Structure 1
Amino acid sequence: MVGESSSVPVYPPIPVPDVPGADATARGLPRRQDLTWKQKVIVDGSAVADIGLRTAIASIVGTAMLPTIAGALLRPEDSRAERDALRFYAELGAARDPALSFPAPSEPPRVASRPANPVAEWLAHGSVHDIRFRSSFEAVNPAVRERRRGYERNNVVHAQHWRHDDGPHPTLCLIHGFMGSAYLFNGLFFSLPWFYRSGYDVLLYTLPFHGRRAEKHSPFSGYGFFADGFAGFAESMAQAVHDFRSVLDYLEYTGVDRIALTGMSLGGYTSALIAGVDDRIQAVIPNVPVVTPESQFDEWFPANLLVKLGNRIAGTDPELSSAAARYHSPLNYPPLVPKDRRLIITGLGDRLAPPEQAEALWRHWDRCAFHWFPGNHILHVSQPDYLRRMTRFLRGFMFE
């Protein structure tokens, strides 16, 4: 079945120019002079467009950071707590021990399932259920546990599961990007019906503080990721990993024995981190991932100004901040997925998650398979090309 469907043309919902990318060479990504003139035009144009997107998202992130900065200004004890948190995560990161940093769930989740809306079933042309369960996550840092327990909506995990009627199939799991949690959008953007027709079951996982997990009165999906300062972001990443491991427990309980994981942007960051924590993943494909988000804030106007202001108010040591950020970076942990089952995808015109970020992950992952396209963070030029690349990459061990 997968062999037949993989040869069928893929037509993404957003028409994009048919200017193909390619796999990286042993040296890494191509230099500008290595590109064709068409590729140069697409890369340059999409890079300019991405700067506008980056500014818009940085403004939204900055909005989420304002309460923390105001608290540090008005309450000096908040600054002390933030510095204590940085030291806590820096010590964890220095240990480079995924079992210590990201403890496994102690028991399988009690999952509730109900049929999804008719639009989801129409999109998949199959059986689709929305699942949810109570998160068993406890904050890694004891100092913030009480506050994290109080996020009632966030502590209910949500996902959408596309299943075939003839029993569990190899499953492709997708983790969305920042603010991009809508199942319909992700199903269309990543041509998930095509993978479903190819024989995969599909699971779309909702990150903490996104979609139905957003707390009441959140101004936008994903707001909570940045609303509690550095500790809040670190714990959100820890919970993203923990809750997805509970999803893996659920999939195993239902009989799934082969699981591939992909994710875009923040989802790419999360999927790369999970690949260094849990060895049950058969394949991992981070798409336009960020791997050192703290380094990107220097270019994210106006969020970069707020970060500098917050650091100045709190008296944050930049070296301590960088050390703490290693706690949740996939570059801090060796991958548990075998090299021949790692594939990284990046856009040369991406300025929100610059290709240098993906290249850093590629080097850390022993120069594994690496594919680039001449587009940006959202405009994935020649996307059908990399979707077919993903299918060829997965076929050998997902349907053996």
Structure 2
Amino acid sequence: MPKDYHRRPVGTEIDRRYPLTTAISAGLDMLTCTGLGATVGSLLAANMMMPGQNFAREIARLDIYATLAANGAAAASFQAPPAQVPVIETSTVFFGFQPFSIRTSLLSFDSPYEPVDKAIRGPYARMGGGGRAYAQYWSHRGGARKTLIFVHGFIADPYWFNARMFGLRKLYQAGYDILLVTLPFHGYRKAWFEPFSGFGYFSRGMGHINEAMLQAVLDLRIFVDYLLKRGAPHVGIAGYSLGGYMSAIMAAVEPRLSFAIPMCPVVSVVDAAMDWPSTRLLFGQFLRLTGLDLPDLRQATAVHSPLTYAPALPAGRRLIMSASGDRLTTPRQVALLRDHWPGSEMYWFPGNHLMHFERAKYQEHMRRFMDRCTA
């Protein structure tokens, strides 16, 4: 990728159909990403921009991940799930009114993840890494059915929010079981002293981010194991924003999936940061102080990027969905994944990262795609 990729055009093929909607929603997104970027940037700066030993340590930590990424083999980069991981299911409860109530339970297990960088094992664990993994499970009576794993975005972990935002109740009523996974450092997995959900993901530097991404993949694969052993005939994955990133990585790591649907996905963590004005300033300062270049940072985080690996799923089982006015995960980011996944289906809809217009239409498209892949 060229160094100035973040300056390339952002447009999509539906912009002419929705010029006003795209322009307004993109402008609103720029306000959002400026505020969010300032939050994430300040967390990174507190660790990355410290003088002396912290600074040198942060640079040294990146080499181990760059070496793994250079290998280009997903099996070497991502830990395989252990043969036996005890998954605990809490008592079943129902929410909603008959006949449309949903049967839910909470799944959890002790994550067996071991940090790649052994030197940060202790600090990573103290910040909430490791610990227990959680997911809310919507199941039907009579045994496991075809199942959608859904992965939330950064900060956006509440189960009710994702259920409403992405029409998951309709998918449940259409016969799908649903598993809403909680990513590391979010929700139940947030350390007690962290000020908000997701804080731990970006608060300890780039090596820590890499470990959180790698752990999330391992935990997701353990949930896939559990669902298949439970008898689910098909298991697929979808995710939004950071969750879209995770679902794209899973498409490169887990061939047992029946489908993968990244939605408004992050594709390159570094280039996403370069799209946000506030984090762009931080990265520019970081590069000047270290003598590194933008390709160096890309390589340091490439270990968990879907662009590093060939997809393990065939083209017909990959659907990319995104908004034309999205400026948090811009269309030029999404185009990278589309080009890396030749033959995959691409679906653009009007709106931005949080405001999705024609939602019912794209949700129906998503359901039809899932039906085809699980027929």
Q: Scaled by the length of structure 1, what TM-score is found?
A: 0.86
The question of 1:46 aligning with 2:25 is answered yes
Offset of 1:310 from its aligned partner? 3.5
Closer, same or farther in 2 for the Cα pair 1:253/1:182, shift >3 Å?
same
Alpha-carbon separation, structure 2, partners of 1:121 and 1:277: 39
Is the 1:108–1:249 Cα contact (8 Å) retained in structure 2? no
Partner of 2:8: none
> Residue 90 of structure 2 aligns to a residue in which SS?
strand
Q: Among 143, 146, 153, which residue is 2:119 paired with?
A: 143
CA distance in 1, matches of 2:194, 2:246: 22
Q: Is the Cα contact below 8 Å between 1:291 and 1:358 reproduced in 2?
A: yes
- 1:130 Cα offset (Å): 1.0
Q: Which residue is 2:35 aligned to?
A: 56
Secondary structure of residue in 1 paired with 2:239? strand
CA deviations 1:77-97 (Å, max 9, x no partner) are 222222222221111111001
Which residue identity does 1:161 align to in structure 2? Y
Q: 2:272 maps to what in 1?
A: 296
Q: 1:251 Cα deviation (Å)? A: 0.9
One-letter amino acid of the structure 2 residue matched with residue 296 of structure 1? A
Shift of 1:119: 4.6
Equivalent residue runs for 1:1-400 within 5 Å: 29-30=12-13, 32=15, 35-36=16-17, 39-69=18-48, 72-73=50-51, 76-115=52-91, 119=95, 125-152=101-128, 155-398=131-374, 400=375
Q: How far has the Cα of 1:262 moved from its partner?
A: 0.3
Would the alpha carbon gap of residues 152 and 267 (structure 1) be closer, same or farther in structure 2, given more than 3 Å must change? closer
CA distance in 2, matches of 1:120, 1:269: 31
CA distance in 2, matches of 1:301, 1:171: 39
Deviation digits for residues 310-365 of structure 1 (CA, Å, limit 9, x no counterpart): 44444444332221122111011011111101000011100000111111111111
Structure 1 residue 143: Cα displacement: 2.6
Relative to structure 1, the CA distance from residue 170 to residue 326 in structure 2 (aligned partners, 3 Å threshold; closer, same or farther) is same
Q: Structure 1 stretches (4+) deviating beyond 6 angstroms?
A: 120-124
* DSSP-derived class of the 1:203 partner: strand
Cα gap change, 1:87/1:189 in structure 2, threshold over 3 Å: closer, same or farther? same
Instruction: Report if aligned partners of 2:147, 2:177 keep a CA contact under 8 Å in 1.
Output: yes
CA positional deviation for 1:156: 0.9
Report the counterpart of residue 6 of structure 1 in structure 2: none
Partner of 2:6: none
Distance 1:54 1:152, change over 3 A: closer
* Inter-partner Cα distance in structure 2 for 1:143 and 1:330: 26
Distance in 1 of aligned mates of 2:291 and 2:259: 42
Q: Sort the Cα spacing of 1:222 and 1:30 in 2 relative to 1 into closer, same or farther, 3 A.
A: same
- Tell me the alpha carbon deviations over residues 253-288 of structure 1, each in whole angstroms, 9 at most, x when there is no partner: 211131110000000011001110111111000000
Identity fraction in percent: 34
Amino acid at match of 1:50: D
Over 3 Å counting, the alpha-carbon distance change for 1:31 and 1:347 in structure 2 is closer
What's 2:5 paired with? none
CA distance in 2, matches of 1:198, 1:183: 19
Check the 8 A contact 1:108/1:250 in 2, yes or no: no
CA gap of 1:363–1:120, structure 2 versus 1, over 3 A, is: farther
CA contact (8 A) 1:121 1:128 kept: no
Question: Which amino acid in the other structure matches residue 306 of structure 2?
Answer: P
What letter is aligned with 2:335?
E
- Alpha-carbon deviation of 1:148? 2.2
State the Cα distance separating 1:179 from its structure 2 match.
Answer: 0.3
Q: Secondary structure at the match of 2:153?
A: coil
Aligned residue pairs total 365
CA distance in 1, matches of 2:309, 2:207: 20
* Deviation at residue 109 of structure 1 after TM alignment: 2.0
Confirm or deny: 8 A CA contact 2:48 2:58 kept in the other structure. no
- Structure 2 stretches of 5 or more lacking a match? 1-10
Query: Who is 1:5 aligned against?
Result: none
User: What is the rounded CA distance, in whole Å, between the counterparts of 2:157 and 2:70 in structure 1?
Assistant: 32
1:63 offset after TM fit, Å? Answer: 3.1
Distance 1:164 1:113, change over 3 A: same
Aligned residue for 1:302, secondary structure, equals helix
How many Å separate the matches in 2 of 1:308 and 1:121?
A: 53
Paired amino acid for 2:13: P
The CA deviation string for residues 238-262 of structure 1, in whole angstroms up to 9 with x for no partner, is 0010110111111122111311100
- C-alpha distance 305-121 of structure 1, shift in aligned 2 (>3 A): farther
Shift in alpha-carbon separation, 1:355–1:235, aligned structure 2, 3 A: same
Q: 1:149, CA displacement in angstroms?
A: 3.1
Shift in alpha-carbon separation, 1:157–1:130, aligned structure 2, 3 A: same
Distance 1:310 1:215 in 2: 28
The answer on whether the counterparts of 2:155 and 2:186 sit within 8 Å (CA) in structure 1 is: yes
Kindly provide the CA deviation profile for residues 10-34 of structure 1, in whole angstroms up to 9, marking residues without a partner as x.
xxxxxxxxxxxxxxxxxx94164xx
Q: Is the 8 A contact 1:132 1:158 kept in 2?
A: yes
2:58 counterpart letter in structure 1: E
User: Structure 1, residues 111-155: CA drift from partner, whole Å, max 9, x if none?
Assistant: 222246665788971210011110000012223223223345752
- Counterpart of 2:79 in 1: which secondary structure? coil
SS in 1 for 2:267: coil
